[in-house]
Structure 1
Amino acid sequence: MPTTIESPAKTPAPSRTYSRWASLAVLCAGTLMTVLDGNIVTVAMPAVQSDLGFSGPGLAWVVNAYLIPFGGLLLLMGRLGDLVGRRRMFAAGLAVFTAASVLAGTATGQGVLIAARALQGAGGAMASAVVLGMLVALFPEPREQARVIAVFSAVGAAGGALGTFLGGALTQALGWHWIFLINLPIGIAAWLAAVRVLAPQSGTGLGEGADFPGAALVTGALMLTVYVIVGSGDRGLTATLLLALLALGLFAAFAVRQARTARPLLRLRLFRSRLLTGANTVQVLMIATMYGFQFIGALYLQRVLGYGELATGAAFLPAPVAIGVLMLGLSARTVGRFGAYRVLLAGLTLIAAGMALLGRAPADGSYLPDVLPPLLLLSAGFAAAMPALTGLAMSGVREEDAGLASGLFNTTQVVGGSLGLAALSTLAASDTDGLLGRGVELIPATAEGYRLAFRVAAGIAVGALAVAAGVLRPRA
């Protein structure tokens, strides 16, 4: 899950040791809630579609409406956290996220649900953008800090997959509305704990300024890009190209503004770093693959194999267990012994192999031979690749740029997820519709659409492997 390290601000460390660990628990709990919500809707998608009448490609907006503002606003919210105080920003983010969850849980139409998901994304960005900066200030000793960040990273990584299980359990037991309404008591408890436990910290003041136009440009560019992908089959080629050019224009305007404004969200000189630029490129491709697997894998289990929501969530449960165990127990040792570059290549190879196996999943398949092996390969690959990729990205950055580089890295994580989800879900739906038009029965046509998406995702993972091998190779 995306998190941002900012340049350390003057945060008074708690005077009692237990206060630091209580603060860690509060920050992890608040972040876990926002991480879970990025994936908790995955298993509930068929129920949401049936209830609110979403089209196949349009269903991806239930996820992307959350991811786009989350990723587009991370840099801005990190900057605002420095200006108004990180505890205040974290608590405000929890409040916005909780209120938006209630709105989503009571939604009776597509527009209200998508708007609520976008507001959830904004609240999630507010809370997540300041968390690691607060942890760095709370645990300044290097070894202790490394352990704390490892725990926090494992919570984020495993939490994403755990959301799939919880989404299935809540949807089957209470209905899809409760995957959002459950956040009300959790959010209130987390907000009260944050106000009570976290140390107060004053920011530098809003007079220092923040680049609101830049945030609007990059968020609008991301949203338009996803819209171009998702709606490409419903409009003509000319309209699609014009919208794509407009999206590119917004990205170009963002780049120009960052080069000229006095207080940019993103300093363009960061891209001079070969490692940082290469790692962000690899991450976009890798996360596009992983998000596509979570979304389409859940649909395959439900629409092809006939699983219910709870069974689908349980089928994904080995993923967070494997990711958590491997990240906490083996990742640091493996990177220390073999080096981040080799571990990254091995992880990406496992991800590509897992997606290739899913590309063979038949219409009459079953969980143990057809789903569990690739699920474990993907989990092991992600657990190996993610810490190694993070280390390579940050190793090419100067100390004064560490916070901004981390914000960029976490932003591309969300960008990769939203673009991959849009592209792969649209591809699967289009292929299925084409087969249905040629007289193929529903389940075989649906299975073939998902297989095509999995094979394309495997190709994207191979592309990530090729970029990593060519760009991130250590120099003598």
Structure 2
Amino acid sequence: MATPKSAPAPGPSAPTADPRRWLILAVICTAYLMVGLDLTVMNLALPSAQDDLGFSDADRQWIVTAYALPFGSLLLFCGRLSDVIGRKETFLGGVAGFVIASAVGGAANSFAMLVTARAFQGAFAAMLAPAVLALVATTFIDPQEKSKAFAVFSGVASSGAALGLIIGGALTSALDWRWCMYVNVVIGGAALIGGQMWMRKQPKAGARMDVPGVLLASVGMFCVVYGFSNAAEHSWSTPSAWGYLVVAAVLLIAFAAWQSRAANPLLPPRIVLDRNRGAAYLTVFFVGIGLFGIMLFLIYFLQNNLGYSAIKSGVVLLPMIVFTTVAAGVGAVKLLPKHGPKPLITLGMLLNAVGLAWLTQIDAHSSYAADILGPTLAVGFGMGLVYSAAARTGTAGVAPQEAGIASACINTGQQLGGAVGTALLNTIAATAASGWLDSHVTGKPTAEQLGLAAIDGYTTVFWWCAAFFAFGALAAGVLLRSGPLPAPAEAGAPQPTEQSESAHS
């Protein structure tokens, strides 16, 4: 008779909520804000850094590329590393390394020193990015709390790049380009102290490192990012572009083949073959391409054609950031638990497509209120809906020992999209501008004609970005399952899975 009363009692392996989980979330978001900022914060500071350090126009691209190469190529390795050595350790190591690299970059007295610091920033960002998303996924147990946590994180993740433009412009105008690096010492120092104080060690997940997989994936991703960077800087016909892309294709095909037979694969095929997770990774890939169109070509238009200063061109993006944050909160807390990711991602991608198509109406006489505000608000709301659903869906349903690598797939998709967007959209813009000049100008073009040609290049890019977003909406509508995410992905069940899989290994 007494047995039924004692049966419901939770076993010793039942997970308990960390009482400091909201403080931990604040630390996580602070650290990830630093990573998001550095995707763009140096863009507006490049002319000042170039004047100070005396490097050439051809070398400017390397300030961006040096960050992107290790970031994109090491994400999968670092995602698994967080599963192997522990997420707190990976998080603290990533933050500490990023802070040191930023301090060195701020003190740089030569081009080589700055590029080296940027490369180390990218490497430690790759260490940090998968750990933070995995920490959000594993720190929160209650489904409602997890929804709120992902809402906050999604707002930070989706607005970091735009905030980087604002902060980069403000620091460069008010202080010095070096503060675009030093600001990370302040932000990262706060995250490092908070992480050391409030994060507790998570039990080892029992994951193992797949060394051949690491080599194939890391070198393959390096070749992808480097190949696309060279295509953007030079030409698609140069061996440094297509040659590296061919090598990348061979290595990544070999990586996929190896993962299907490796005893402890770096990226277990079941992670990406799940319809929901695979669609989430594909979605952020298209977002990476389209976001590049907004962050780069819209800034070009504002500064070069409308005459906005660096700080003003960043500030006018603030309404978009607000809409992104609001949509991320509403999507993650109110809509995703009830309706699942399919309607959110599909609608968000369609809103992005509408916003980019709307931007194609710009011309030399455009104004911010009439021609820029509306499209950027549409894109901001769409991005918020997409991020709130994709970040949660990309880590849903995986065992604790695979949360890091699943998180890395989210970041890898966005980085690949950014690399493709850098090369493809630059080429599209240059080709469209040249075509406009060929058909409208005889002889040497005037400054006004060059401006009109540039605008034609921008609008062509916006049409292409709208097409990418529309295709992403179609892919999400086809691949994503209808209805809410499965309940087992939300909480208590993973603990026994972790133990059983550890026993097998």
Instruction: Please report the TM-score for the alignment, with normalisation by the length of structure 1.
Output: 0.84
Match of 2:73 in 1: 72
In structure 2, distance between residues paired with 1:423 and 1:377:
24
Say whether 1:469 aligns with 2:469: no
Equivalent position amino acid for 1:215 in 2: V
CA contact (8 A) 2:229 2:422 kept: no
The partner residue of 1:456 within 461, 464, 487 is 464
In structure 2, distance between residues paired with 1:46 and 1:450:
22
The alignment partner of 2:260 has SS state of: helix
In structure 1, distance between residues paired with 2:413 and 2:178:
30
For structure 1, the residue ranges without an aligned partner over 5 or more in a row are 1-9
In structure 2, distance between residues paired with 1:127 and 1:136:
15
Instruction: Kindly state the Cα deviation for residue 93 of structure 1 after the two structures are TM-superposed.
Output: 0.8
Say whether 1:237 aligns with 2:255: no
Q: Which moved more, 1:129-138 or 1:247-256?
A: 129-138
Match of 1:5 in 2: none
In structure 2, the CA distance between the partners of 1:331 and 1:215, relative to structure 1 (3 Å rule), is same
For 1:409-448, list aligned pairs within 5 A: 409-432=410-433, 439-440=444-445, 441=447, 442-448=450-456
In structure 2, the CA distance between the partners of 1:169 and 1:468, relative to structure 1 (3 Å rule), is same
In structure 2, the CA distance between the partners of 1:296 and 1:41, relative to structure 1 (3 Å rule), is farther
In structure 2, distance between residues paired with 1:465 and 1:292:
17
CA contact (8 A) 1:13 1:199 kept: no
CA contact (8 A) 1:11 1:137 kept: no
Match of 2:493 in 1: none
For 1:273-312, list aligned pairs within 5 A: 273-312=274-313
Say whether 1:210 aligns with 2:213: no
Instruction: Kindly state the Cα deviation for residue 338 of structure 1 after the two structures are TM-superposed.
Output: 5.2
Match of 2:341 in 1: 340
In structure 2, the CA distance between the partners of 1:445 and 1:220, relative to structure 1 (3 Å rule), is farther
Instruction: Kindly state the Cα deviation for residue 372 of structure 1 after the two structures are TM-superposed.
Output: 1.2
CA contact (8 A) 2:356 2:465 kept: yes
Q: Which moved more, 1:181-190 or 1:351-360?
A: 181-190
In structure 2, the CA distance between the partners of 1:60 and 1:433, relative to structure 1 (3 Å rule), is farther
The alignment partner of 2:316 has SS state of: helix
Instruction: Kindly state the Cα deviation for residue 453 of structure 1 after the two structures are TM-superposed.
Output: 1.7
Match of 1:6 in 2: none
How big is each residue's C-alpha offset from its partner over 1:188-234, in whole Å with a ceiling of 9 and x where there is no partner?
Answer: 333233223322456479xx742344334333323323333343373
Equivalent position amino acid for 2:312 in 1: A
Match of 1:26 in 2: 27
In structure 2, the CA distance between the partners of 1:334 and 1:192, relative to structure 1 (3 Å rule), is closer
CA contact (8 A) 2:134 2:403 kept: no
CA contact (8 A) 1:352 1:462 kept: yes
In structure 2, the CA distance between the partners of 1:273 and 1:234, relative to structure 1 (3 Å rule), is same
In structure 1, distance between residues paired with 2:124 and 2:15:
25
Equivalent position amino acid for 1:98 in 2: V
CA contact (8 A) 2:221 2:248 kept: yes
CA contact (8 A) 2:130 2:404 kept: no
CA contact (8 A) 1:12 1:200 kept: no
Instruction: Kindly state the Cα deviation for residue 169 of structure 1 after the two structures are TM-superposed.
Output: 0.6
For 1:54-453, list aligned pairs within 5 A: 55=57, 61-107=62-108, 111-201=112-202, 203=204, 209-232=208-231, 234=234, 237=237, 239=239, 240-335=241-336, 339-390=340-391, 393=394, 404-432=405-433, 439-440=444-445, 441=447, 442-453=450-461
How big is each residue's C-alpha offset from its partner over 1:417-451, in whole Å with a ceiling of 9 and x where there is no partner?
Answer: 23223321343245446666864333223222222
In structure 2, distance between residues paired with 1:94 and 1:236:
36
In structure 2, the CA distance between the partners of 1:154 and 1:62, relative to structure 1 (3 Å rule), is same
Equivalent position amino acid for 1:190 in 2: A
In structure 2, the CA distance between the partners of 1:63 and 1:378, relative to structure 1 (3 Å rule), is farther
In structure 2, the CA distance between the partners of 1:428 and 1:238, relative to structure 1 (3 Å rule), is closer
In structure 2, distance between residues paired with 1:395 and 1:234:
41
In structure 2, distance between residues paired with 1:236 and 1:145:
44
How big is each residue's C-alpha offset from its partner over 1:305-352, in whole Å with a ceiling of 9 and x where there is no partner?
Answer: 111111111111112211112221355423456553233222111101
In structure 2, distance between residues paired with 1:431 and 1:109:
36
In structure 1, distance between residues paired with 2:246 and 2:55:
31
How big is each residue's C-alpha offset from its partner over 1:383-416, in whole Å with a ceiling of 9 and x where there is no partner?
Answer: 1223334455556768876554343233212221
Match of 2:486 in 1: none
Equivalent position amino acid for 2:123 in 1: A
In structure 2, the CA distance between the partners of 1:54 and 1:14, relative to structure 1 (3 Å rule), is farther
Instruction: Kindly state the Cα deviation for residue 92 of structure 1 after the two structures are TM-superposed.
Output: 1.2
CA contact (8 A) 1:273 1:397 kept: no
In structure 1, distance between residues paired with 2:312 and 2:236:
40
Equivalent position amino acid for 1:407 in 2: A
In structure 1, distance between residues paired with 2:299 and 2:110:
23
The alignment partner of 2:141 has SS state of: coil
Match of 1:4 in 2: none
Q: How many residues align?
A: 461
In structure 2, distance between residues paired with 1:372 and 1:164:
17
In structure 2, distance between residues paired with 1:340 and 1:393:
10
For structure 2, the residue ranges without an aligned partner over 5 or more in a row are 1-12, 484-505
How big is each residue's C-alpha offset from its partner over 1:71-107, in whole Å with a ceiling of 9 and x where there is no partner?
Answer: 4323322322233332222111111111221233244
Equivalent position amino acid for 2:210 in 1: D
The alignment partner of 1:176 has SS state of: coil
Match of 1:3 in 2: none
Q: Which moved more, 1:434-443 or 1:266-275?
A: 434-443
For 1:35-54, list aligned pairs within 5 A: 35-48=36-49
Equivalent position amino acid for 2:216 in 1: L
Q: Percent identity?
A: 33
Q: Which moved more, 1:315-324 or 1:423-432?
A: 423-432
Match of 1:7 in 2: none
Instruction: Please report the TM-score for the alignment, with normalisation by the length of structure 2.
Output: 0.80
